[in-house]
C-alpha cells in the first residue's frame, strides 16, 4: 500500500505569492522544500531561482506581514551600525542592520518569516530588533558593500602590497614607541593598498577623513569624490601617523597643518609622487594626498580640449618673445597642466626657463624649478628677483598672490622676458580687474599682458552614452541658439554605465576654455579703469566665446552632457 506524502503547509509569504498568481502552488511547495533543505530563506531562494522578481516578492511580503518596505539603495550604510553584528552572523542570516534609535536596531531582511535571524541578532547586540523589508537583489548588493567594511579592517591584505618602497625613507621611521610590530604591518599594507588602488583607477586625490563614529577614505576620480573604504575609526591616529612618517612630517604634532611629499618607487624605473597636506579637524587629522603625474605635462596640446581657434591663440601667445600669459580657474581645474604643456613646447636647448612654484608638482628635465618655502624665506618675490639675475628667457610663477609678486612679474614681462602665471578668478575679464585691485598699475597691465585663459574641467562622456531628448524651451534657457537646435544631438550618461567607465557613465575629463587675447580696445578700456563687465562685453564683440559658450560647444560635440556643464559653469 502506497504511503501518502503529507501535504506541505506553506508559510504565509508562499501562500501570498500563490494567491497573487506570482507562483504556482507546485512551484511554491518545491521552493519551500528546497529552501528548508539548503537553509536559505524562502524569499532568497525564490529570487535566486528566478521564480519571481525581487520587487514582486518584497511587495507581497510587505502586504502580508505589514512590514515597511525600504529602498536600500537610498540608505547610507553606517559602518559602525553594520559592525554591531559580526561578519559570520551577517552572512549566515542574510540580514543587514541599517540604523539604530537608542536601544532599537532596524534590520533589513527580504523574508520577514526569518524570525530566527532577528532573535539571534537581538541576542548578540542586546538590542530590540525590528524588521524592515528590502528587495532581495538590492539587499544582496548592500550586504556585499557591508562586507567590504570587514575586508578593510586590516585583515587579509595581500602580502605583495607591502613590496613598494619609499624613496630615501629614513631608517629612523621605525622608531615609533607607541606602535608594536603587529599593529604596524597591517597599517603599512592598508596605506600602500590605498595608494596603489588610487594610481590604478586614475584618481587625482585621496582623502583620509576621521569622524566621531566612523572613518572613511575617498578618492577623487574625474573630479568627483567617492568612498572606497571604511577602516575602523579606532585606527585614525595610526593611519595619520603612518602617512606622516612616509611624508617626513612631525608625527607628534597634531595641532597645526603640515605639508609634505611622498615618492613611491613602484619598480626599478617607475616612481609616483604624492603631495600631502594634513589639517587638524574635530575628530583627528584629515589628510589629503594629491597624485602628481609628470606624464600630464607631456600631453599633446591637442589632447587638452582646445577648439582650433583657441589653440591657435595660445600658441601665438607662447611664440611672443616677451609679455605675460595668465591662466585662471579654481583649484583642480587643470591650470598647471595647461601651463606645463606650454612650457614643454618652449623647452628647447637654446632657452633658459625658470619656475617658482609652491609646491613643485611636476618635474620637467631642462627646466630650472624652485620650491617656494616661506619658512626658509624663499618667497615668490625673492625667487623672481634671483631669476632676473640668472639670464632668463621664460619665467613661470606658480601663482600671483600679492602686489610684490605681481609687480616683479609685470616688470619682468616689460623688460624682454616671457612670464607665465596663474590667478584665482572666475573668468578671463575678472583677472584684469583683480590685478588692478592688487595695486598693479593699469598701464602696466595693459602694456604687458598678452593673453588670459580661464578654464574648467568637465567629465567626458563614456562611449556607452545615450541620446537625450530635451525640450526646445529648456535648450533656449540653457543658452543654445534657436537656429542650431534642430540640428544638434545631445547625449547623457547611460544609467549604470558600462564596464569601461565602472558604472559612472563618464570616463576621463575634457577642458573648456575662454582664451582671451588682449586687444588694443581692451587695453584702452583697462587704461580708462573699466570693470570686468565692460571688458567681458568687449570680448563678446570680438567674438571670444566665454566659458558657458565653450561648454555648450562641448555638449553639441557629444563630448560631455548638459548636466555636467551646468555643474562646473554658471548660467549667464
Gap between the Cα atoms of 511 and 301, Å rounded: 11
Q: What is the pLDDT of residue 219?
A: 94
Q: What is the pLDDT of residue 267?
A: 67
CATH number of the domain at 285, please: 3.30.450.90
Grid cell 524562502 is found at 42
In a domain, 564, yes or no: no
Do residues 127 and 99 lie in contact, with contact meaning Cβ atoms separated by under 8 Å? no
Do residues 129 and 165 lie in contact, with contact meaning Cβ atoms separated by under 8 Å? no
In a domain, 203, yes or no: yes
Of 115, 106, 144, the closest CA to residue 41 belongs to: 115
311 and 252 co-located in one domain? no
Do residues 227 and 216 lie in contact, with contact meaning Cβ atoms separated by under 8 Å? yes
Chain-centroid distance, C-alpha 317: 33
Q: For residue 19, give its domain range.
A: 12-159
* Domain end marker among 238, 262, 292: 292
Q: What is the pLDDT of residue 6?
A: 57
Q: What is the pLDDT of residue 162?
A: 44
| DSSP H or E stretch at residue 394 | strand 394-397
245 and 305 co-located in one domain? no
Do residues 506 and 460 lie in contact, with contact meaning Cβ atoms separated by under 8 Å? yes
In a domain, 431, yes or no: yes
119 and 239 co-located in one domain? no
Gap between the Cα atoms of 388 and 354, Å rounded: 10
Gap between the Cα atoms of 296 and 425, Å rounded: 23
Q: What is the pLDDT of residue 149?
A: 62
Read off the pTM.
0.66
279 and 310 co-located in one domain? no
Gap between the Cα atoms of 317 and 444, Å rounded: 18
CATH number of the domain at 418, please: 3.40.50.300
Give the strand pairing for 215-221 and 224-229. Answer: antiparallel
23 and 151 co-located in one domain? yes
Q: Which letter does DSSP use for residue 481 in this model?
A: -
Gap between the Cα atoms of 393 and 413, Å rounded: 10
Starting at the edge strand found earlier in the chain, the sheet holding 506-517 runs: 368-371, 353-357, 394-397, 418-423, 323-328, 449-461, 506-517
Do residues 515 and 451 lie in contact, with contact meaning Cβ atoms separated by under 8 Å? yes
What burial class does residue 282 get, using C-beta atoms within 10 Å of its C-beta: 0-12 exposed, 13-18 middle, 19+ buried? exposed
Q: What is the pLDDT of residue 96?
A: 85
In a domain, 408, yes or no: yes
Do residues 14 and 31 lie in contact, with contact meaning Cβ atoms separated by under 8 Å? yes
Residues 6+ apart with CB under 8 A from 144: none
286 and 327 co-located in one domain? no
Q: Which letter does DSSP use for residue 9 in this model?
A: -
Q: What is the pLDDT of residue 572?
A: 62
| DSSP H or E stretch at residue 107 | strand 104-109
Q: What is the pLDDT of residue 297?
A: 56
In a domain, 178, yes or no: no
413 and 316 co-located in one domain? yes
238 and 286 co-located in one domain? yes
Grid cell 553639441 is found at 556
Q: What is the pLDDT of residue 215?
A: 93
* Domain end marker among 292, 325, 345: 292
- Count how many domains the chain has: 3
- φ, ψ for residue 288, nearest 5 deg: -115, 130
User: How far, CA to CA in Å, does 529 sit from each of 230, 407, 451, 516?
Assistant: 54, 18, 19, 18
CA 16, 18, 23, 28 torsion: positive or negative?
Answer: positive
129 and 29 co-located in one domain? yes
Do residues 170 and 205 lie in contact, with contact meaning Cβ atoms separated by under 8 Å? no
- φ, ψ for residue 139, nearest 5 deg: -65, -40
CATH number of the domain at 60, please: 3.30.300.160
Q: Which letter does DSSP use for residue 299 in this model?
A: -
What burial class does residue 175 get, using C-beta atoms within 10 Å of its C-beta: 0-12 exposed, 13-18 middle, 19+ buried? exposed
Q: What is the pLDDT of residue 292?
A: 81
Counting as low any pLDDT under 70, the low residues of the chain are 1-9, 11, 148-184, 267-269, 294-299, 572
Grid cell 595695486 is found at 439
In a domain, 27, yes or no: yes
Gap between the Cα atoms of 193 and 199, Å rounded: 10
Do residues 443 and 415 lie in contact, with contact meaning Cβ atoms separated by under 8 Å? no
Task: Classify 490 as helix, strand or coil.
Answer: strand
Gap between the Cα atoms of 232 and 153, Å rounded: 6
Give the number of C-alpha atoms closer than 13 A to the C-alpha of residue 145, restricted to the C-beta side.
Answer: 18
Residues 6+ apart with CB under 8 A from 374: none
432 and 362 co-located in one domain? yes
In a domain, 493, yes or no: no
In a domain, 420, yes or no: yes
136 and 220 co-located in one domain? no
Grid cell of 465 as nine digits: 552614452
Gap between the Cα atoms of 30 and 36, Å rounded: 10
Torsion of CA 242, 247, 249, 252, to 10 degrees: 0
77 and 127 co-located in one domain? yes
* Domain end marker among 234, 263, 292: 292
Amino acid at each position: 500500500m502506497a504511503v501518502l506524502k503529507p501535504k506541505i503547509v506553506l508559510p504565509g509569504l508562499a501562500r501570498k505569492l500563490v494567491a497573487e498568481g506570482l507562483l504556482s502552488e507546485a512551484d511554491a511547495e518545491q521552493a519551500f522544500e528546497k529552501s528548508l533543505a539548503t537553509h536559505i530563506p524562502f524569499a532568497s531562494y525564490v529570487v535566486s531561482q528566478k521564480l519571481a522578481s525581487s520587487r514582486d516578492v518584497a511587495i507581497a511580503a510587505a502586504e502580508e506581514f505589514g512590514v515597511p518596505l525600504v529602498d536600500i539603495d537610498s540608505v547610507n550604510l553606517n559602518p559602525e551600525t553594520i559592525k554591531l553584528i559580526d561578519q559570520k552572523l551577517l552572512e549566515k542570516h542574510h540580514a543587514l542592520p541599517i540604523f539604530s534609535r537608542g536601544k532599537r536596531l532596524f534590520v533589513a531582511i527580504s523574508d520577514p518569516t526569518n524570525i530566527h535571524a532577528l532573535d539571534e541578532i537581538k541576542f548578540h547586540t542586546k538590542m530590540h530588533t525590528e524588521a524592515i523589508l528590502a528587495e532581495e537583489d538590492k539587499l544582496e548588493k548592500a550586504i556585499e558593500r557591508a562586507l567590504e567594511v570587514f575586508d578593510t579592517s586590516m585583515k587579509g591584505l595581500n602580502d605583495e602590497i607591502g613590496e613598494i618602497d619609499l624613496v630615501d625613507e629614513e631608517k629612523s621611521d621605525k622608531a615609533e614607541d607607541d606602535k608594536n610590530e603587529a599593529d604596524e604591518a597591517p597599517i603599512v599594507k592598508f596605506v600602500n593598498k590605498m595608494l596603489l588602488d588610487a594610481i590604478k583607477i586614475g584618481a587625482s586625490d585621496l582623502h583620509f577623513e576621521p569622524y566621531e563614529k566612523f572613518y572613511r577614505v575617498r578618492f577623487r576620480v574625474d573630479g568627483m569624490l567617492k568612498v572606497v573604504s571604511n577602516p575602523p575609526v579606532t585606527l585614525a591616529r595610526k593611519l595619520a601617523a603612518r602617512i606622516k612618517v612616509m611624508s617626513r612630517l612631525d608625527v607628534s604634532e597634531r595641532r597645526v597643518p603640515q605639508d609634505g611629499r611622498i615618492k613611491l618607487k613602484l619598480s626599478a624605473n617607475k616612481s609616483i609622487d604624492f603631495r600631502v597636506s594634513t589639517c587638524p579637524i574635530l575628530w583627528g587629522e584629515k589628510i589629503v594626498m594629491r597624485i602628481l603625474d609628470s606624464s600630464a605635462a607631456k600631453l599633446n596640446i591637442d589632447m587638452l580640449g582646445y577648439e582650433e581657434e583657441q589653440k591657435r591663440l595660445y600658441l601665438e601667445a607662447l611664440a611672443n618673445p616677451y609679455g605675460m600669459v595668465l591662466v585662471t580657474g579654481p583649484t583642480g581645474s587643470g591650470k598647471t597642466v595647461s601651463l606645463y604643456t606650454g612650457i614643454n613646447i618652449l623647452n628647447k636647448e637654446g632657452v633658459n626657463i625658470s619656475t617658482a612654484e609652491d609646491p613643485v608638482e611636476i618635474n620637467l628635465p631642462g627646466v630650472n624649478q624652485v620650491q617656494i618655502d616661506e619658512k626658509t624665506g624663499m618667497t615668490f618675490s625673492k625667487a623672481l628677483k634671483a631669476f632676473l639675475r640668472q639670464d632668463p628667457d621664460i619665467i613661470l610663477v606658480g601663482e600671483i598672490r600679492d602686489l610684490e609678486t605681481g609687480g616683479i612679474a609685470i616688470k619682468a614681462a616689460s623688460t624682454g622676458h616671457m612670464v607665465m602665471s596663474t590667478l584665482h578668478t572666475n573668468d578671463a575679464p575678472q583677472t584684469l580687474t583683480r590685478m588692478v585691485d592688487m595695486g598693479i598699475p593699469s598701464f602696466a597691465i595693459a602694456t604687458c599682458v598678452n593673453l588670459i585663459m580661464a578654464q574648467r574641467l568637465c567629465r567626458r562622456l563614456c562611449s556607452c552614452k545615450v541620446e537625450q531628448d530635451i525640450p526646445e524651451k529648456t535648450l533656449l534657457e540653457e543658452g543654445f541658439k534657436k537656429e542650431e537646435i534642430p540640428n544638434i544631438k545631445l547625449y547623457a550618461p547611460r544609467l549604470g554605465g558600462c564596464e569601461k567607465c565602472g558604472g559612472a557613465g563618464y570616463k576621463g575629463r575634457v577642458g573648456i576654455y575662454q582664451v582671451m587675447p588682449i586687444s588694443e580696445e581692451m587695453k584702452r578700456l583697462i587704461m580708462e579703469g573699466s570693470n570686468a563687465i565692460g571688458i567681458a562685453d568687449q570680448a563678446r564683440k570680438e567674438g571670444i566665446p566665454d566659458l558657458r559658450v565653450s561648454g555648450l560647444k562641448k555638449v553639441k560635440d557629444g563630448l560631455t552632457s548638459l548636466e555636467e556643464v551646468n555643474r562646473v559653469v554658471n548660467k549667464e
